[in-house]
Structure 1
Amino acid sequence: MKKISFIILMALLAIEVQGANVYQPWKHGQLKVSDNQRYLIHADGTPFFWLGNTSWLLPERLNRDEVEFFLNREREEGYNVEQIQVLNVIPTYNVFGQQANDETFDFKPFVRPGVYGYWEHLDYIVDMAAANGIYIAMDCIWGSQINKMDEKKAASYGTFLGKRYKDKPNIIWMIGGDIMGDKGTAAWDALARAIKRVDPNHVMTFHPRGRTTSAWWYNDREWLDFNMFQSGHRRYGQRNGDGDYTIKDNTE
């Protein structure tokens, strides 16, 4: 136990030393939407330009050394946001085989004192990103999994996430996850509201499906700070044979 604690302490000290030499955008205060509702700015009025990378599976695929290498490289290439999935599937495992959750959304069995588990690894990712001056746009659960999370589970999960990361300076909350906003609406609302009750200070958005915008469904929600639009990927329309697009095949 002492050895594990010492290793974690030394790692955190190394992160702090590195972070002291890197531009920290949050020194200008929390992110917010500008008064004219057109831009993201910091609390002191400093503009913020979102230059993000979709490193969705970062918490699952990379070990600590790879996380450090990757985020250092991202900083060198100019990225200031990493968009990640916290939970890609139910259950989710990381590269060490550590489990994040199960279908009950009771996280107590997966957060154990003195054990470097899934959530401690995610903590490390968030802290290493901060040391590199990078925000983590935290997509809480991928859209394809929303049918496994009812309103009660969503509220419990949102409270867990909000408490764990509310004091981190580099968090941006992302609800949704490449999904049409009219699917799982009640659960998305419950998740977002639970996070906001615990953490009202970090900005929040909704990540929609390709060629859609969160404004179609959530523009009137009190938890939505700004809208997000996805142009699409792989093929522009992202039809994928699911029939939820009114886009002609020859235009994709």
Structure 2
Amino acid sequence: MHLKASLFSIAVSAVAAAWNVPPEYGLMPSSDGRFLRDINGQPFFWQADTAWLLFHRLNYTEAETYLSDRASKGFNMVLAVGFTQIGITSPNRNGDLPFVGKDVQQPNEPYWAYIDSIIELAWNKGIRICMVPAWGQYVHDSANNPSVLTTSTAPTFGHFIGQRYPYLPKTLVADTNPWWENKTAVKADYAAGGVPPTYEVVDWSPVYDALAMAIVAGEQDAIGSGTAWSPLLTIHPTNQWFNGGPLAFASAFLGDRSWLTLDSCQSGHTDFPPNPPIPWWNARRGWESIEQMYAAGAQQGARARPVLDNEAHYENRYDNGNSVNPWWNASDVRTGSWQAVFSGAAGLTYGADAVMQFVIPGLYAPDGSGPGDDWLADLVLPGSGQMQWVGKAIMDREDATYFRRVPAQDIITGDAGADDKRVTAMRDSAGSWIMVYTPTGKPFTIDTATLVSCNGTQANWFNPLDGTYRTFDFVCAGSNSVIMFTPPVEDGHIDWTLVLEVKS
């Protein structure tokens, strides 16, 4: 079996080496820095799925099954890790290790050739890969100890990634932050009580910089010095930060870096603080970190970047990853995605718990963070099919308005609600439409004065479960632009999106 796997890897290597990532793969910020566009300037709505261990745990046939499903549901981006979190000595499904002799400066060709083949397969199905070159633990661990990626080794590895995979969006490392204390000690000392000691803070950003700049240089070497190109590049923070340190989003740590072209956060999977005194984002308020990143980009002298919540609560994952708690369902992940996008995000990132880790019965056991025990079962969870309707609601408007959409929480009058019960609004800055998402089905009141016209405005309720519109009569109220709207009553859900669009 191992011999067959090795022969397969060699065959894939020979095929994959002939495929070069095309320039059309590239994505870049819009002219105002807020959203994403392709090489032709067309809008790109980031609809990503989380598949951290795609390259490591699935064989080619399984990868095709996975990617075909996600393509059928409108996903156009998949997050996957090159040097994965399960270790430098852990072989992939074909029996290949990521490096020769555990040296991150010596990539093992068959391992990366197989990754090439999956990237090409995804592209042929209309899906881009957002690559995580290495999990964050390879810079430092929870206790703040250094690992194999250092300022000495990161340049070689980063150049390899950039040169081999130009145009792919990339998140440098995942699930950690460059400003770090000994988290293990912080938690233990807090549990023990008493006066906590002063913890050493280590700024690991020199390693991040070394990796990032090498990726940029590698991409430039791959595409040629005569082509102007800046990679879509960010980090994938953990949802936690330390008191006195930057908030956990990319720009808070590295906002002055020219290589940071995308801002991101992780609102995470928990709606309570289980590890004081370490603060973290509340999973029921995923819009909160989006609002703060968006606002930071609007400050005088700041650089506006597209913003994303790159890890919101996974469907079928326990709250806090603990089996004593209920798991997040389709309604939870659906609501969080609508609220984040309407708060200014350039798209959304979905995850299903058994899929992101690719649980395979008898081969790869689940990590216990959710009830799912087979990735194929979690592949068809209902939330995965509902994510596409967020993008549809936006893309159904004219292309020109795509780059004019702005958060519009100020048009909601009265109590908008809190946490994941909050009514959230977005509008076209030129006044051609307003959209309002309600997760509760209760009446809400908005000020429609930003519309360029009341007459000729078409009103619809958009169904977040199936992407259909329900037109209703919209009567202008004279000089009074403040109007109450009552969502329809329908079995199966209570959330709706109001769409008011000027048609004449």
TM-score category of the 2 structures, normalised to the smaller one: 0.7 to 0.9
2:299 maps to 1:224: no
Runs of 4+ with deviation above 3 angstroms: 3-12, 239-244
Counterpart of 1:203? 232
Partner of 2:95: 97
What SS is found at the alignment partner of 1:41? strand
Secondary structure of the corresponding residue to residue 151 of structure 1:
coil
Partner AA of 2:154 in structure 1:
A
- Quote the Cα distance in structure 2 between the aligned partners of 1:32 and 1:143: 24
Q: Report the counterpart of residue 388 of structure 2 in structure 1.
A: none
* Alpha-carbon distance, 1:90 to partner: 2.5
Q: Does the CA-based 8 Å contact 1:210-1:236 persist in structure 2?
A: no
Three-state SS of the structure 2 residue aligned to 1:228 is strand
In 2: Cα distance, 1:129 partner to 1:242 partner: 41
Give distance in 2, aligned partners of 1:97 and 1:187.
30
Note the C-alpha offset of 1:8.
4.3
Correspondence for 1:188 among 173, 194, 208? 208
Note closer, same or farther for the CA distance 1:244–1:6 as it changes in structure 2 (3 Å cut).
closer
The alignment status of 1:57 with 2:53, answered yes or no, reads yes
1:107 aligns with 2:127: no
Q: RCO greater where, 1 or 2, for CA within 8 Å and sep 6 or more?
A: 1
Contact 2:13 2:114 in 1 (8 A): no
**Which digits, 9 at most, give the CA deviation of each residue in 1:63-98, with x for residues without a partner?**
111111111111011111000111123234211221
Counterpart among 72, 76, 98 of residue 72 in structure 2: 76
Aligned partner (choices 35, 40, 44) of residue 44 of structure 1? 40
What's the counterpart of residue 126 of structure 1?
Answer: 119
TM-score, normalising length from structure 1? 0.78
2:210 is the counterpart of 1:174: no
Q: Which moved more, 1:135-144 or 1:172-181?
A: 172-181
In the alignment, is the contact (CA less than 8 A) between 1:158 and 1:192 conserved in 2?
A: yes
Deviations 1:124-148 (A, max 9, x none): 1111111111110001111122131
* Structure 2: segments with no counterpart, 5+ residues: 1-6, 141-146, 181-203, 221-228, 241-247, 286-319, 321-504
Aligned counterpart in structure 2 of residue 137 of structure 1, from 101, 120, 130: 130
8 Å contact from structure 1 (residues 214, 229) kept in 2: yes
Q: Which amino acid aligns with 2:93?
A: V
Q: 1:243 to 1:188 in 2, by over 3 A?
A: farther
Closer/same/farther in 2, CA of residues 73 and 225 from structure 1, 3 Å limit: same
Q: What's the secondary structure of 2:105's corresponding residue?
A: coil
Residue 249 of structure 2 aligns with an amino acid whose one-letter code is: T
Asked if the contact 1:90–1:145 (Cα under 8 Å) also holds between the matched residues in 2, the reply is: no
Deviates more, 1:196-205 or 1:140-149: 196-205
3-state SS of paired residue (1:199):
helix
Q: Secondary structure at the match of 2:160?
A: helix
Aligned-residue identity in percent: 27
Aligned-partner Cα distance in 2 for 1:99–1:5:
12
Give the partner amino acid of 1:141: A
The alignment of Structure 1 onto Structure 2 pairs a total of residues equal to: 225
2:156 counterpart of 1:162: no
1:224-251, Cα deviation, whole Å (9 max, x unpaired): 1111121112x246x6759643679xx9
Distance 1:145 1:156 in 2: 15
Cα deviations by residue, 1:26-72 (Å, 9 ceiling, x for unpaired): 74x73111121111112322111100011001111101111111111
Q: Whole-Å Cα distance in 1 between the matches of residues 207 and 163 of structure 2?
A: 19
- Specify which of 206, 220, 245 is matched with residue 279 of structure 2: 245
Return the alpha-carbon distance in structure 2 between the equivalents of residues 182 and 92 of structure 1: 28
Root mean square deviation, CA, Å:
3.0
